[in-house]
Amino acid sequence: MIQLIRGFKDILPGEVELWQHIERTAQAVFAAFGYSEIRVPIMEKTELFARGIGEDTDIVEKEMYTFEDRGGEKITLRPEATASIVRAYIQHKMHADDPIRKFFTIGPMFRRERPQKGRYRQFYQIDAEVFGIESPYLDAQMIYMLHLLFERLGVSHTQAHVNSLGCPVCRPNYREALLALLDRVEEQLCPDCKRRKSRNPLRVLDCKVPTCRQAVTEAPAIVDFLCGQCQSHFDVLTRGLTQLGVPFALDKRLVRGLDYYTRTAFEIQTTMLGAQSAVAGGGRYDGLVQSLGGPPTPAIGFAIGFDRLVEILAQEQSVAAAKPAFFIAALGDAARQAAFQWCAQLAAAGAYVEMEHGDKSLKAQMKRADRLGAAYVLIVGDSEMAAGKAMLRDMATKEQSELALEGLVEKMVESLSGRKAD
Ligand code: ATP
Ligand code: MG
C-alpha cells in the first residue's frame, strides 16, 4: 500500500470542518480591517526565497524543497508566503496607484524539517501583509487584529511577545555587543550557532538547543541599543497595545528566523502547545520591497501556524459535520425513481438531502438516516406512491405526519426556510 510522504498529512472530513470554521472567521476579521485576499503560486524561482528570506537562514540553508524542473530551472516549493506577495506587489506595480495595500492569503507551505507534533513538512499558514504604512500604530493594530481573531475563535491562554530588532542604523552597534558576548560563550554553542556567530549572530538568539539558550541568557537586549527613531516607534507600539487592551510581554530575546525583519518583531505564544509554543509570528520588514527590486516601501506582516491553531482548538471544541435536512427512505422501484428526482430538485434549491439508492429494508434505511443525523425522514413506498402521499417523520420528536406528494418539493423547501427563521 502506498502511504503519504513523511511529514505530510491528510485533513479528513471530521477535522476539516474546524479548518473551514477558522478560515471563515479569519476572513471576516480581516475584511473588517480592509485586507483583500491574494493567491500566489506554491512554487517560485529559488532565487526569490534565497534573496527574500536570506541565505543564512535555517529555511534557505536546510529546509527548502528545491529542485530543477525539466527545463533545468531551479524552483522551490514555497516555505512561506511573504516573499511571493512582495514579488506580486512589485511585479504588478501595485504600488503605482496606491502604495497602501493590505493582503491576506491562506495556503500550504513546505519546509523539510524533522516532523513532530506541531511541525510538518507541508503545513498551512494564514498570512497577512500590509504595504506602504510606516506608522507604529499599524503594528499595534495588526497585533490587535490577531488578538481579536484568537478571541473570536475562543483560543485562550495566548500572549503577544514583542521586541524591536532596530534598523540598519542601530543594529550594527547591537551586533557588536552581542558578538562580544558570543565570543565569551563560544564553547557552549552548538555547531550551527558557531557558524551563525560569524555570519548572522542575531540568529543565535533564536536557536532552540538548550545549551545555546542557556549561553545567551546574559546577552545584551536589542532594545537597549535602539536609535531615537526606533525607540519612539517601539514606544508608540507598546502604548498602542496597552490602549487597545492587548495582553503583551516585552521579549528582549525574540528575533525572527528570517533576515528581512526590522523594528517590530512579535509572536503569539500559547501554553497549550508544549514545545511548539509559537502559534503566529510576524514583524516589520521595511527593507524587503526595495531589496527585491521595488520602490522603498515600509511593510509588516504575520503568519499564523494554521495546523497549530487547529491543534489548540481541537482540544477545546469541535465543529459538527453537515447533517442532511431530509433523508428519503424509498421502498420499491417507483418510489426510488421519484426520490431520485426529488433529491436533485431539493439540492438545487439548496437543501442537503440524502436517500438510499439500494434495495434496503425500512429498518436499515431508518438506521442510516439516524447515523447521518437527518432532521426528517420522508418515507415513501409503492402504496404511498399510489395514494399520492408520503409519511414525514420528525427524527427529534418522533412525530409522523402525512404529506401530499403534489407540490412535495416546494413544501419541503418551505418547511426548511421556516425552521431557519426560528
Ligand atoms: P518555529 O520557531 O516554530 O520553527 P518559525 O519561526 O520557523 O517557527 P515562521 O516562519 O515565523 O515560523 O512561521 C510562522 C508560524 O508558522 C509559526 O509560528 C508556526 O506556528 C508555524 N510553523 C512554522 N513552521 C512550521 C512547521 N514546520 N509545521 C507547522 N507549523 C509551522
Ligand atoms: Mg522554523
DSSP 251-300: -TT---SSTT-EEEEEEEEETTSTT--EEEEEEE-TTHHHHTTS----EE
Q: Report the pLDDT value the prediction gives residue 28, as an integer from 0 to 100.
A: 98
Query: Quick one: 119 and 45 in the same domain?
Result: yes
Q: Report the pLDDT value the prediction gives residue 130, as an integer from 0 to 100.
A: 98
Q: Report the pLDDT value the prediction gives residue 421, as an integer from 0 to 100.
A: 42
> Could you tell me the distance, in angstroms and rounded to a whole number, from the CA of residue 314 to the centre of ligand 2?
23
Question: Does the structure show a pLDDT above 90 at 246?
Answer: yes
A 10 A CB-CB count for 212 gives 20
Place of cell 504595504: 131
Residue 206 lies in a domain: no
Whole-Å CA distances, 249 to 161, 253, 254: 5, 11, 11
Domain CATH for 108: 3.30.930.10
Give the helix ranges, DSSP H, for 5-45.
16-32
Query: Quick one: 248 and 136 in the same domain?
Result: yes
> Could you tell me the distance, in angstroms and rounded to a whole number, from the CA of residue 245 to the centre of ligand 1?
26
> Could you tell me the distance, in angstroms and rounded to a whole number, from the CA of residue 81 to the centre of ligand 1?
12
Query: How do residues 360-399 score in pLDDT, each as one tens digit?
Result: 999 999 999 999 999 999 999 999 999 999 999 999 999 9
Q: Report the pLDDT value the prediction gives residue 219, as an integer from 0 to 100.
A: 92
Question: Does the structure show a pLDDT above 80 at 404?
Answer: yes
Residue 215 lies in a domain: no
Provide Rg for the chain, Cα atoms: 28
Query: Quick one: 339 and 280 in the same domain?
Result: no
Ligand 1 — pocket residues by CB below 6 A? 80, 111, 113, 118-120, 123, 125, 257, 276, 278-281, 303, 305, 307-308
Residue 202 lies in a domain: no
Angle value at C-alpha 75, between 70 and 77, nearest 5 degrees: 120
Domain CATH for 377: 3.40.50.800
**Residues contacting 40, CB < 8 A, separation 6+:** 78, 81, 84, 85, 87, 88, 105
- Protein residue with least CA distance to atom 8, ligand 1: 278
- Grade residue 57 by pLDDT with cuts at 50, 70 and 90: confident
Q: Report the pLDDT value the prediction gives residue 372, as an integer from 0 to 100.
A: 95
Which domain range does residue 388 map to? 326-416
Query: Quick one: 265 and 412 in the same domain?
Result: no
- Grade residue 422 by pLDDT with cuts at 50, 70 and 90: very low
- Please identify, among 264, 280, 314, the residue that sits at the C-terminal boundary of a domain: 314
Whole-Å CA distances, 277 to 217, 225, 271, 272: 19, 28, 6, 7
Whole-Å CA distances, 198 to 46, 59, 179, 201, 220: 24, 18, 8, 6, 17
pTM of the model: 0.90
Residue 198 lies in a domain: no
Residue 388 lies in a domain: yes
> Could you tell me the distance, in angstroms and rounded to a whole number, from the CA of residue 181 to the centre of ligand 1?
28
> Could you tell me the distance, in angstroms and rounded to a whole number, from the CA of residue 274 to the centre of ligand 2?
15
Whole-Å CA distances, 209 to 63, 92, 122, 192: 17, 42, 23, 10
Q: Which ligand ends up closest to the CA of 81?
A: 1
Query: Quick one: 354 and 300 in the same domain?
Result: no
Query: Quick one: 285 and 335 in the same domain?
Result: no
- Strand bridging mode 248-250 / 158-164: parallel
Q: Report the pLDDT value the prediction gives residue 286, as an integer from 0 to 100.
A: 95
Question: Does the structure show a pLDDT above 70 at 92?
Answer: yes
Question: Does the structure show a pLDDT above 80 at 274?
Answer: no
The identity of residue 59, as a single letter, is I
Query: How do residues 134-188 score in pLDDT, each as one tens digit?
Result: 999 999 999 999 999 999 999 878 899 999 999 999 999 999 999 999 999 999 9
- Grade residue 203 by pLDDT with cuts at 50, 70 and 90: confident
How many structural domains are present in the chain? 2
Closest to 349 in 3D by CA, of 403, 404, 420: 420
pLDDT exceeding 90 applies to what percent of the chain?
A: 80
- Strand bridging mode 43-45 / 122-131: unpaired
Question: Does the structure show a pLDDT above 60 at 297?
Answer: yes
> Could you tell me the distance, in angstroms and rounded to a whole number, from the CA of residue 93 to the centre of ligand 2?
31
Ligand 1, residue 303: give the atom nearest the CA: 14
Q: Report the pLDDT value the prediction gives residue 257, as an integer from 0 to 100.
A: 65
Query: Quick one: 309 and 332 in the same domain?
Result: no
User: In 3-state terms, what secondary structure has residue 156?
Assistant: coil
Ligand 1, residue 256: give the atom nearest the CA: 6
Ligand 1, residue 119: give the atom nearest the CA: 28
- Protein residue with least CA distance to atom 20, ligand 1: 305
Query: Quick one: 29 and 88 in the same domain?
Result: yes
Q: What is the mean pLDDT of the chain?
A: 93
Q: Which of 146, 308, 309, 311 to mutate to test the pocket of ligand 1 (most atoms within 8 A of CB)?
A: 308
Query: How do residues 130-148 score in pLDDT, each as one tens digit?
Result: 999 999 999 999 999 999 9
Give the distance, in angstroms, between the CA of residue 128 and the centroid of all CA atoms in the same chain. 10
